[in-house]
A and B are shown apart, each in its own frame.
Chain A
Amino acid sequence: PANAAELTIGFSQIGSESGWRAAETSVSKQEAAKRKVNLKIADAQQKQENQIKAIRSFIAQNVDAIFLAPVVATGWDAVLKEAKEAKIPVVLLDRDIDPSGKDLYLTAVTSDSVHEGEVAGDWLAKTVGDKACNIVELQGTVGASVAANRKKGFDTAVAKHANLKIVRSQTGDFTRAKGKEVMESFIKAEGGGKNICAVYAHNDDMMVGAIQAMKEAGLKPGKDILTVSIDAVPDIFKAMVAGEANATVELTPNMAGPAFDAVAAFKEKGTVPPKWIQTESRLLTATDNPQKEYDSKKGLGY
């Protein structure tokens, strides 16, 4: 039985498509260092096939546990079965996988991205009250499950209020540049932005781009147009401090910490953790001391 100090854990990370992802990687390393875990990170460059390859090579190296931040919900059965045969526990980080494989992993440390969308929607509904409000939505990458879930959660929340209406929805690919470009077109298409009451973005990066677009169009983001987005990256707090952003829903980059603990407990004492360790989806607004949030997040590698 391995001693926690000698644990070698393989982490199949998706890639580094966003600041949040970079932060997750660097926080994982910090957490591993804290616990003296030998963490091997394989970067999949956004490809599931690379993740499967990485897991296979972890199995071949006989690691003590495997962390997997799955790029997509399906398609893990075969490779997880192999891990199981090799008696290597697998912990899912950050996203869940499809139900057919529940017995194939030890636990999942994730947030609920549908819930994140709901939190965002509820905040907007509460803030607007019963004024009519036209919402434009900046979606994540088409096909990405987070994007679909964050849309679903938000839609559910908004559907409960007749005065809220999503008038335009287009993908901004989770990036600042596309967020800005798409917002520019939304503004043009909605009477110079006069018809828009709020923007919902599936991540903060797109929102930062959208804020720039609004400012360049002579609009006042945060006042003329409300903003709500997800992730809680440092730059969105900067915007909040400047009064240009209203709300964000936090997605913690520290998924690995709880996972290490669960693995350590499992290896040492045989404690089987719950199937789902849900991380909190905190709502953060201008009233939650954004400056402090900014300072605390700045050094995390976003």
Chain B
Amino acid sequence: MKGLSPLLITAIVLVAGFAACAVQFPNIASTRVIGNLLTDNAFLGIVATGMTFVIISGGIDLSVGSVIGFTTVFVALAIERWGVPPLVAFVAILVLSAAFGAAMGAIIHVFDLPPFIVTLAGMFLARGASFLLSTESVPVTAPIYSTVSDFALRMPGGGRLSAIAIIMLAIVIGGALLLHLTRFGANVYALGGNRATASLMGVAVGKMTVKIYMLSSLFAGIAGIVFSFYTSAGYSLSAVGVELDSIAAVVIGGTLLTGGQGSVIGTFLGVLIQGMIQTYINFDGTLSSWWTKIATGILLFAFIALQQGLVALARRPVAKRVGAAP
């Protein structure tokens, strides 16, 4: 008998939570809310996908929130003030953020420093740099912005599958393929299993480290562009604390912080669970600022405890495989 996989359990927890919310607020069970869930969490889904790679490889990236912030400011200024065509600005920022991630990865590898701290410095740096660019929020009026934010596939029931939600879904799927089907993905798991061993087995640990952080920053850059579509503006204080949200999403999605295990789909479910909690609280609408926080904490606990409990239950019959001894 094979127990339920943790991924399936997370999905069940999500659906159960959704059902419970819908019982209390029937409005929740609409394609509109589902569309909103995807749109509102698009940038989170994208960064969390990148974060999944980092965490599976045994690292962590605290800089992503700041990179999003920097990206929004940079893009807004480039388009509005410096007169750069939007697409050129996008390419420029993606190159810039990828280079930023690569630099962090290189420092982590070459100087053998803890990723937590290197990326913490990266977080300060990117946020500080966006302050230097502009402390004011900069509205973006380029036509592409209204085109993108107006674009949406109508779902039955009035819900909108917006462009940024589609981008997010594409990245999640792309990320999942990259992680689970390619050599790069296998190496990510190898790194998380044990760096030294992976190196002895011939994995180019240094190159991989650089690439992984590059990927995470690149995704943060994409998330930043999406965020700027989302708000049609650039603002140096945007996405503060998103690093923790995305780490939480990754971990709720069943990825081990110690590395070596996890999946992009799990992360996606984690993002949705967090979005659910928020939606529920918004629908309730009677909670004070403090009860909002407390309720978020309690729901977070409930989801994780439920999920862990179920996983433990599924593993209960430890029928260890007795192999065919030669």
Assess whether A196 is interfacial by the CB under 8 Å rule. Answer: no
Assess whether B299 is interfacial by the CB under 8 Å rule. Answer: no
Cα distance, A53 to B239, chains bound together (Å): 14
Tell me whether B230 and A60 are in contact (CB under 8 A): no
For B36, B138, B279, the residue with the greatest tally of chain A CB atoms inside 10 Å of its CB is B36
Tell me whether B232 and A74 are in contact (CB under 8 A): yes
Assess whether B326 is interfacial by the CB under 8 Å rule. Answer: no
Across-interface contacts of B30 in A (CB, < 8 A)? 60
Specify the chain A residue showing the minimal Cβ separation from B286. Answer: A40
Assess whether B323 is interfacial by the CB under 8 Å rule. Answer: no
Contacts between chains A and B (CB distance < 8 A), count: 120
Across-interface contacts of A169 in B (CB, < 8 A)? none
Interface size class of A (residues with CB under 8 A): 35 or more
Tell me whether A143 and B236 are in contact (CB under 8 A): yes
Interface size class of B (residues with CB under 8 A): 35 or more
Across-interface contacts of B278 in A (CB, < 8 A)? 50, 53
Tell me whether A25 and B288 are in contact (CB under 8 A): yes
Across-interface contacts of A145 in B (CB, < 8 A)? 136-137
Tell me whether B281 and A42 are in contact (CB under 8 A): yes
Across-interface contacts of A54 in B (CB, < 8 A)? 282
Among A58-93, those with CB < 8 Å from B are 58, 60-62, 72-78
A282-302 interface mask toward B, CB cutoff 8 Å, 1 = contact, 0 = none?
000000000000000000000
Tell me whether B230 and A52 are in contact (CB under 8 A): yes
Tell me whether B289 and A45 are in contact (CB under 8 A): yes
Cα distance, A49 to B135, chains bound together (Å): 18
Assess whether B117 is interfacial by the CB under 8 Å rule. Answer: no
Tell me whether B27 and A61 are in contact (CB under 8 A): yes
For A13, A62, A98, the residue with the greatest tally of chain B CB atoms inside 10 Å of its CB is A98
Contact of B136 among A10, A56, A148 (CB under 8 A): A148
Assess whether A100 is interfacial by the CB under 8 Å rule. Answer: yes
Contact of B237 among A15, A41, A143 (CB under 8 A): A143
Across-interface contacts of B149 in A (CB, < 8 A)? 77-78
Tell me whether A100 and B289 are in contact (CB under 8 A): no
Assess whether B261 is interfacial by the CB under 8 Å rule. Answer: no
Q: How far is the CB of B77 from chain A (nearest CB, A)?
A: 12
Assess whether A33 is interfacial by the CB under 8 Å rule. Answer: no
Across-interface contacts of B239 in A (CB, < 8 A)? 49
Assess whether A275 is interfacial by the CB under 8 Å rule. Answer: no
